[in-house]
Structure 1
């Protein structure tokens, strides 16, 4: 789409072979044209594009002004280009500057492939770099080292980015909700936003309209998701009932009480039977596979708004420490970024419900400790009054949920090569082993890191062995939740393996 004026504008290249919601924009220094290559479900217009939804009118297209943007987009803004990240920290935008060009994408693999750049095998801290978002939206590591010295790579979370023809970059703070004075104000604000998002995903102006689906378990967070999702007409809930770990965590009974008619239960280990290297895309987001179990619901998640309870164990927890307005989670190990590539491929919109109003966390924490919430407070180590009230007021008896913390998924981060074999599909494990043996190298730096890693994690491994042996005695482990040293063994090649395999879908 050509324009006679000297204003910046978009030129779109829609490629049906790309993941449905992936996009990569190219800005050339001094030029008005911005080329956007994208998948078929990215909504494209003359002056803006979006993959996702927000709590505002789709017709007006003012996603950058919303307080709860799910997904990413770009628009022409006063002869500059504005790009928006989600209003949560589970996804981000990736930038690579090469010579006179600047590339931006919602996929790290896509922007690497578009710029013909690659990861640096000598850099051992990619996982740590992407997990640094746990330090908060002001303190995370913005630059990401590449093998090519003439390419600059950086990432952005929770912000709007303004870029002009000279490729100068200005960051503009995202609009945030006001602090919540009490539970009723919080709940009404949440309900209103979710209702508007529902209108957004089925707007007449969309080429692709979305259904709604929710996860559910016997814990707090996904049960609250299911209760809220039901209010906007959701009638499908998915849960795990296998293997044994998940038998007592199934949310089937709760879903029935909430009135769900379509309840789907699956085996969390079903991915092990796949032959398509599914694990690669789940580790390519920078987090080593926590969400791989959700691949069981690939067909169910397609083209849906997916409610999920990610973040509830921090933002809704009554016992949490370091409450702040920067979305900082200092006592966590994982960033929650495992679903980036699966979401783009399958074409679903990710709704991590607890992240609504995350920068107002202090007021959410205050509500959890308020007198009005006493009736929903358990005064134990697993205590989330807001989530409990949402679920109980939806009609679910107290004893049916929030009794024991189990959680879905696992992470390869602390695995040895031998242990990975039992937690990967046979095809993926063989492919990863071939990759590892081809690329592994030894250096003094890596040796020192191995020694440090073993020193820091030895108590955790010993306790694991004791637990498996049925021995109750435990060794004190101050580092269990705050380990700062990444695993330098075979698993340290897993992110590289994931990226290299995921890049292939963008060629």
Structure 2
């Protein structure tokens, strides 16, 4: 299979986005459009890292690949997704035409297809990733079929397109030392890959850090990989704001730390977050200043599922407690960020990791209670960070806006027009904006208390978590971003 690559040179295509199309008119050729920071070659395209030599281009054979890409081997093309569930691949089929991308707005533009704007179930479908491998794959479109794929590859050849399991080469973990060694060796390998001189665009490594359990571990491993900087949000989300800055931890780890305030006025590029999952929970990532050129961000997403005490009761290692991190998957492509969530390393051996947390050898690092993660505590305390500096109270720095509507005023007006045209129940959003505090209290406090008490009553569980007009944010944002991408298809240079 021959690649015909068309690259953006003027920034109107997201820096790390790519779209590949195969149709019967171009036998033996795969047409590819990509951003200016995507690494390309005669038989590959990649925006990602893995613990191996970059010039081997064997990311399709790795169980520790983060990012996305495609690899041509003979007549087969392997589209490679991230080994996590904070990123995904999209696939559109229309007759003999197949289009695959790491960005939905870009795919819609290149394939010139639309979401069904009257459909209000897109955001709920994205949220099903918390169910693990039983997440919903099909999404309605106006022509052909559209599917989403997490933690699996796609193989295209003359026989068609099929999903393929990720390779398996990681051995299980017997104790803390074997798991800790695995984490450090993985960090070292990813660091070498990111800095490999074979890359056209060397990668800057960084991390997020807070006073929780998971991001300090991510920062330690990012430092092992070669990071010199971490970013942090000053205050945690709560009714009474409290400090959650990881600046003191960064200082002890020898990392420069940039502190940011997570407020509505600092949010930028919000359309890309609505397009990711119809939510603003991860818009805190929009307030950071990212390096020029590609960067690699280590985070602690999914640490609650992997490192909390308690045995794993499911064979599905992809199940999650929430979908945080998914909302960053489109905007990271704009900012040139490769997302590497550390808790997903070796996730197939989740039961081993859970067993280690319960081992008697971990007792000195177990503090009891509901917020107890011995593995991260041992790793972080071993680096000289005092016990009371982190992991004291569960916090979150996601955007604290329980009423879903566009942040920017001009976007709110555009969304109202979208609702007036497509929704069967158009409504003026500002009426709800005026009563936002009452709605926030209902959602954050009262609704859950009622469910806890009366959860056995079927009608209680059937209450919708969102107002009807909130469910159209996902199709609105993706359709709003599509036109500029489609125009770019015509003038992007060869």
Shorter-chain TM-score bucket reads: 0.7 to 0.9
Map 1:397-436 to 2 at 5 A: 397-410=386-399, 415=403, 420=405, 424-436=407-419
CA 1:500 to 1:181, structure 2 compared with 1: closer, same or farther past 3 Å?
same
Map 1:323-342 onto structure 2 (within 5 A). 323-329=314-320, 332-334=321-323, 336-342=325-331
- Deviation readout 1:154-190 (Å, 9 max, x if unpaired): 1211112211135342524433522211111111111
CA displacement at 1:490 relative to structure 2: 1.8
Structure 2 counterpart of 1:47, from 33, 43, 49: 43
Q: Distance in 1 between matches of 2:103 and 2:148?
A: 11
Distance 2:266 2:317 in 1: 40
Counterpart of 1:285 in 2: which secondary structure?
A: helix
**What is the alpha-carbon distance in structure 2 between the residues aligned to residue 140 and residue 427 of structure 1?**
34
Unaligned runs of 5+ in 2: 427-438, 487-494
- When the two structures are aligned, how many residues end up with a matched partner? 466
Match of 2:90 among 91, 94, 101: 94
Q: Which residue of 2 aligns with 1:179?
A: 172
Contact map agreement 2:118 2:423 (CA 8 A) in 1? no
Matched, 1:115 2:111: yes
Select the residue among 120, 126, 151 that pairs with 1:124. 120
* Conservation of the 8 A alpha-carbon contact between 2:192 and 2:225: no
Which secondary structure does the structure 1 equivalent of 2:330 belong to? helix
Task: Measure, in 2, the Cα distance between the counterparts of 1:462 and 1:81.
Answer: 46
Give, in angstroms, the shift of residue 462 of structure 1. Answer: 7.1
Residues in 2 aligned to 1:483 and 1:187: alpha-carbon distance in whole angstroms: 44
Out of 121, 135, 138, the residue aligned to residue 143 of structure 1 is: 138
Q: Deviation of residue 266 (structure 1)?
A: 1.0
| Distance in 2, Cα, partners of 1:317 & 1:368 | 8
Provide runs of 4+ in structure 1 moved above 6 Å.
472-475
**For the residues of structure 2 that align with 1:473 and 1:80, how far apart are their CA atoms?**
54
Q: Is the CA contact (8 Å cut-off) linking 1:272 and 1:426 kept in structure 2?
A: no
CA distance in 2, matches of 1:340, 1:232: 22
1:21 aligns with 16
- The 1-side partners of 2:221 and 2:73 are apart by 35
User: Cα–Cα, structure 1 residues 312 and 20, in superposed 2: closer, same or farther, change >3 Å?
Assistant: same
Conservation of the 8 A alpha-carbon contact between 1:279 and 1:498: no
Output the TM-score relative to the length of structure 1: 0.85
Please report how far the alpha carbon of residue 96 of structure 1 lies from its aligned counterpart in structure 2 after TM superposition: 0.6
* d(CA) in 2 for partners of 1:496, 1:488: 16
Bigger relative CO (Cα 8 Å, ≥ 6 apart): 2
Aligned CA RMSD, in angstroms, stands at 2.8
Question: Contact between 1:312 and 1:354, CA under 8 Å: does it hold in 2?
Answer: yes
Match of 2:348 in 1: 359
8 Å contact 2:63–2:166 — kept in the other structure? Answer: no
Q: Is contact 1:32–1:165 with CA below 8 Å preserved after alignment?
A: no
* Residues 503 and 174 (structure 1), Cα distance of their counterparts in 2 relative to 1, 3 Å cut: farther
**Separation of aligned partners in 2, 1:378 and 1:324:** 27
* Structure 1 pair 72–477 and aligned structure 2 pair: CA distance change class (3 A): farther
Gaps of 5+ in 1: 1-7, 444-457
User: Structure 1 residues 484 and 10, CA, compared in 2 at 3 Å: closer, same or farther?
Assistant: farther
Q: Name the TM-score, length of structure 2 as normaliser.
A: 0.87
Following the alignment from structure 1 to structure 2, what is the Cα–Cα distance between the partners of residues 474 and 119?
33
**Do the aligned partners of 2:201 and 2:293 also contact (CA within 8 Å) in 1?**
no
Q: Which among 248, 253, 257 is matched to residue 253 of structure 1?
A: 248
The answer to whether 1:314 aligns with 2:305 is yes
Alpha-carbon separation, structure 2, partners of 1:73 and 1:216: 28
Q: 2:259 aligns with which of 262, 265, 268?
A: 265
Q: Which stretch of structure 1 is more off in the superposition, 340-349 or 228-237? A: 228-237
Contact 1:26 1:102 in 2 (8 A): yes
Q: Is the 8 A contact 1:377 1:385 kept in 2?
A: yes
User: Partner residue of 1:299?
Assistant: 290
SS of residue paired to 2:234: strand
Corresponding residue for residue 453 of structure 1: none
- Residues in 1 aligned to 2:408 and 2:247: alpha-carbon distance in whole angstroms: 27
C-alpha distance 433-243 of structure 1, shift in aligned 2 (>3 A): farther
Mapped contact 1:65–1:174 kept (Cα < 8 A): yes
* Structure-1 residue corresponding to 2:384: 395
| Cα 1:503/1:398, change in 2 over 3 Å | same
2:359: which partner in 1?
370
CA–CA distance in 1 between the matches of 2:249 and 2:455?
37
Take 1:429 and 1:68, find their aligned partners in 2: how far apart are those partners? Answer: 40
**Mean Cα deviation higher: 109-118 or 291-300:** 291-300
Deviation of 1:49 after TM superposition, in Å, equals 1.3
Which residue, 189, 192, 198 being the options, matches 2:191? 198
Q: CA deviation at 1:426?
A: 3.1
